[in-house]
């Protein structure tokens, strides 16, 4: 028996607000959601699509590119649409690989700095610290007023 979620339940399951779900439907990121007694009901296909949209957003894909992808998805699986969707995802994956490379290089530089600073105190650099220490930086009197 299929499971259906109300908009409130779908919002809780996705971490979005009901308003955002309605907005995503309005701008075409998600297909019009079926209704029962006038209320939106989200089934497995709708939830799977929303999860995919959130993954794309989480990787930094623009709303416009996600809209284009959604439009192509709605238009059907023609050879041209399949090619266009593949091209769009390939461009985004290439962008993500570049970002990953930059992040990897930045982490390497940070690790070098951490090792340098810890070498001053004879500390070794842990492979994966559980939680970084919190360093309190005293505020000047003028900054205290702004942050109070």
Alpha helical stretches, state H, the chain: 7-14, 18-26, 44-58, 63-74, 79-119, 141-147
Residue 148 lies in a domain: no
Say if residue 47 is in the same domain as residue 79.
Answer: no
Number of structural domains found in the chain: 2
Q: What is the domain-level CATH number for residue 38?
A: 1.10.1660.10
CA 48, 43, 75: angle at the middle one, nearest 5? 60
Residue 139 lies in a domain: no
Q: What is the pLDDT of residue 63?
A: 95
CA atoms within 13 A on the CB side of 35: 6
Residue 83 lies in a domain: yes
Residue 88 lies in a domain: yes
What is the mean pLDDT for each group of 10 consecutive residues in the chain (148 residues)?
85 96 95 90 95 96 97 95 98 97 96 90 64 60 48
Residue 15 lies in a domain: yes
Residue 142 lies in a domain: no
Say if residue 53 is in the same domain as residue 4.
Answer: yes
Q: What is the pLDDT of residue 146?
A: 47
- Domain containing 86 equals 75-127
Residue 45 lies in a domain: yes
Q: What is the pLDDT of residue 38?
A: 87
Q: What is the pLDDT of residue 68?
A: 97
Structure tokens at 78: 């023609």
Say if residue 42 is in the same domain as residue 81.
Answer: no
Say if residue 48 is in the same domain as residue 85.
Answer: no
Residue 80 lies in a domain: yes
């Amino acid at each position: 028996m299929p499971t259906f979620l109300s908009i409130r339940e779908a919002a809780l399951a996705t971490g979005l607000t009901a308003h955002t779900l309605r907005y995503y439907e309005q701008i075409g990121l998600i297909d019009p959601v079926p209704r029962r007694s006038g209320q939106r009901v989200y089934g497995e296909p709708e939830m799977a699509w929303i999860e995919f949209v959130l993954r794309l957003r989480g990787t930094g894909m623009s709303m416009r590119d996600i809209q284009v992808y959604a439009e192509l998805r709605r238009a059907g699986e023609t050879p041209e649409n399949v090619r266009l969707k593949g091209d769009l995802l390939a461009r985004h994956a290439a962008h993500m690989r570049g970002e990953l490379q930059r992040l990897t290089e930045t982490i390497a530089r940070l690790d070098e700095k951490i090792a340098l600073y810890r070498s001053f105190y004879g500390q070794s650099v842990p492979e994966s610290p559980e939680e970084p220490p919190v360093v309190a930086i005293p505020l000047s009197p003028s900054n205290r007023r702004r942050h109070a």
